[in-house]
Structure 1
């Protein structure tokens, strides 16, 4: 099941994440990535303030530079492969999908096509090695580790749009 695509306003949100470059498909890497992220959060006594998200920074199919993260109350010190930052405020094209994670590539494609057909431009730019996004994320309302992508998995695909003055 897929909601109708929509445009939403999102506030800025501090986050903490583990940065990785992955090759599609990367499902087998998710348990290790999430365990590393959760271990670091636990060691720092940090409780996430929202659901897990996978942020696609640079997409150069089949490679994706990603951040596997969670919203947090405030910026945190980052080290090594861990990063801390602010998810930018602004207008976002979004769609929410109820179903297995295997379909998320298609859901991303449908949202991108819908946005372009409706005259929306993403806050993105071409790079030599792919396309960079200010914030392109899959937000996992059901935990990707516990849920394993069942038919009841709920995921929002959210891509920041260019600001009106950009």
Structure 2
């Protein structure tokens, strides 16, 4: 686990409130965002990610986002926003997505102050570096968990 200083990052995304059972309602919408960017000839500048805005025991408010070069007006279900600049506590996970909860718990156990207010998070992100369509072997998947620290 490392602390990284990151610049702000524009992105395009869709948002949904989901439970563990309905997570696909947002996670399966990356192609919709990719198509939106392609239709506007906007470059993709990184791997797709989920940004957790609110986390409770029952549900998650989540954005499925894709980094892009510049903020542009959104339309329809797709909107644009910016990941905030600042310091992030970061861990890389190799393997099945089932292991992400443990990685997140390890990060949250650190004695640092996170950018959060109750169940709302400033920037709590999972970035998916491996495309399952290209690499079906989950043991080879690479995912980063990054949580912004308070200023």
Q: 1:57 aligns to what?
A: 53
Whether contact under 8 Å (2:52, 2:124) holds in the other structure is yes
Mapped contact 1:12–1:88 kept (Cα < 8 A): yes
Q: Per the alignment, in what secondary structure is the counterpart of residue 46 of structure 2?
A: coil
Taking a change above 3 Å as real, the CA distance of residues 145 and 75 of structure 1, as seen in their structure-2 partners, is: farther
Structure 1 position 123 matched with structure 2 position 110: no
Q: Is 2:80 aligned against 1:84?
A: yes
Contact kept, 8 Å, 1:13 with 1:88, in 2: the verdict is yes
Tell me, yes or no, if the aligned pair for 1:20 and 1:81 is still in contact at 8 Å.
no
Structure 1 segments unaligned to the other structure (5+ residues): none
Q: Tell me the equivalent position of 2:36.
A: 40
Partner residue in 2 for 1:23: 19
Q: Say yes or no: does 1:138 pair with 2:126.
A: yes
SS in 2 for 1:151: helix
The change in CA–CA distance for 1:60 and 1:40 in structure 2 (over 3 A counts) is: same
Distance 1:31 1:122 in 2: 24
> For the structure 1 residues 66 and 27, does the alpha-carbon distance in structure 2 shift closer, same or farther, using more than 3 Å as the test?
closer
CA contact (8 A) 2:16 2:25 kept: no
The 3-state SS of whatever aligns with 1:51 is coil
**CA deviation string 1:36-81 (max 9, x = no partner):** 2222222222221111111000112331111111111100111333
For structure 2, list consecutive stretches of 5 or more residues without a partner in the other structure. none
TM-score by length of 2: 0.90
